[in-house]
Amino acid sequence: MPSKIKIFDTTLRDGEQTPGVNLNIHEKLEIARQLAKLGVDVIEAGFAIASPGDFEAVKAVAENVKGITVASLCRAVEKDIDRAFEAVKNAERPRIHTFIATSDIHMKYKLKMNENEVLERAVAMVKYAKKYCEDVEFSAEDASRTRVEFLYKVVEAVIAAGATVVNIPDTVGYAAPLEYGKLIRGIKENVNGIEKIDLSVHCHNDLGLAVANTLAAMENGATQLECTINGLGERAGNAALEEIIMGINTRKDFYKIDHGIDMSQIYRTSKLVSSLTGVNVQPNKAIVGANAFAHESGIHQHGVLSEKSTYEIMTPESIGLTQNRMVLGKLSGRHAFEERLKEMGYSLPTEEVQKAFEKFKVLADKKKVVLDADIEALVGEKVSEVPEIFELEAFQISSGNKVVATSTVSLKRNEDSITEAATGDGPVDAAFNAIERAVGSSFELEAYGLRAVTEGKDALGEVTVRVSKDGKIFVGRGVSTDIIEASVKAYINAINRAISELGEDTLKN
């Protein structure tokens, strides 16, 4: 077992492959900066060849996020490697991450190549990448279903070719922990040169075993663990960074392994990723779920009140979560508000603090007490540099169980005010129809989510919508004590994102 492990975060690459997630360049930069603050060793910023947008995002992270290794994924193809290096070359520590499948099923049905061809391609592309970059990671896709003798052969060959990291992915979440640990141990014991490189693992969660497999691999010699925030990723997702780290930390007596993660940034990072991706964290999610430190049972409550460790094996403070209820109201000043933001882990520019404070004062007029969760929602509502092409001026709703729902919406664009009215199947649908008439374009609503940020009749409502246009998905978000207003703001936010990315021609169809 290693004495210290490295954390490779792939939220911006594999995490963004979560269905319905589409991050823009500014959002990726914001997440990357937070990941650096969290203390990850490597950020896989994207798949540079995938699209011009992916290339620009990887390039932006490489140029702007310092003190960290920045990697780009690429197939074992020369043009992919060229594009990957072009994207990461200005990083303080650039890495090219190339991969090819090694399992019989992938070689036969996907690659249509035999073992010798795959081996030759893997070696040739590692050597090709090595001409560009000293740090080259090679991944044997679907390694957990690969014939073990062939896997040893490939790993040994790419090490000889110059790979500095070799990754053994459980690509489809097929492995069991004992089996996967044995595979890693076998590689450590049977591959020449393995001591020269970092042995990495990347586990998917199809059977709910991603974190267990990752920890089993670490116990058997893996030195780099690949994961995502909140376990985002393809299909059932990846191993969750927060679960891996808190597992290691909580059971120091068992694992006896160090890492470089600042655990006080875990909750803040989770909230940021959830907010920007539009993927809410399930309440019973380990570590960062809303119920992770909640106790309802009378027996549990009695135990925790007597001694927290009876039912809490870690403290909420250890992940940057405070148990204190935020007692702020309409008479509170900016200084108290700003100090509370700092205590909650936010470090915002002066202008963002001012915007959040103005929203806070408006909310404080509607609520007796403003809680931490309210403030998180207000801060998270900022649009992340997406231009506000259309802004909400006013809306009005007429609805009832025996009348047709009607909405009038006024939007501001530049100095012009646009007012339209529409009907719909309920007040939200009517408002969305009126918005589409005002902007002059239609959008497909793919998903609508509403949750109460806090408790009580005056709780903030947080609405997340996903709309599609020209085959792309855009996420919008809005918060308000009025759920119709929150819905309107979320829909306008999503439309602004679509126009920002697709251009003004979006409005013509």
Mean pLDDT is lowest, of 82-91, 174-183, 286-295, for 286-295
Percent of the chain with pLDDT over 90: 69
**What pLDDT, on the 0 to 100 scale, is given for residue 342?**
78
Domains of the chain: 6-277 (3.20.20.70), 324-378 (no CATH), 391-508 (3.30.160.270)
In this predicted model, what pLDDT tens digit does every residue of 158-206 receive, in sequence order? 999 999 999 999 999 999 999 999 999 999 999 999 999 999 999 999 9
Burial class (CB in 10 A: 0-12, 13-18, 19+), 402: exposed
Is the confidence at residue 325, as pLDDT, over 50?
no
> Is residue 66 within 8 Å of residue 95, measured between CB atoms?
no
Beta bridge partners of 462: 451, 479
pTM of the entire predicted model: 0.80
Is the confidence at residue 305, as pLDDT, over 70?
no
Q: How confident is the model at residue 338 (pLDDT cuts 50, 70, 90)?
A: confident
Instruction: State CA 285 to chain mean position distance.
Output: 15
**What pLDDT, on the 0 to 100 scale, is given for residue 269?**
96
Positive or negative, the Cα torsion across 233, 234, 237, 238?
Answer: negative
Is the confidence at residue 339, as pLDDT, over 80?
no
Mean pLDDT is lowest, of 22-36, 114-128, 276-290, for 276-290
Mean per-residue pLDDT for 56-68? 97
- Show the tokens assigned to 92: 């303080």
Residue of 382, 445, 491 whose CA lies nearest to 26: 382
Other CB atoms within 10 A of residue 109 CB = 10
At 206, give phi and psi (nearest 5°).
-60, -30
> Is residue 58 within 8 Å of residue 22, measured between CB atoms?
no
Instruction: State CA 350 to chain mean position distance.
Output: 26
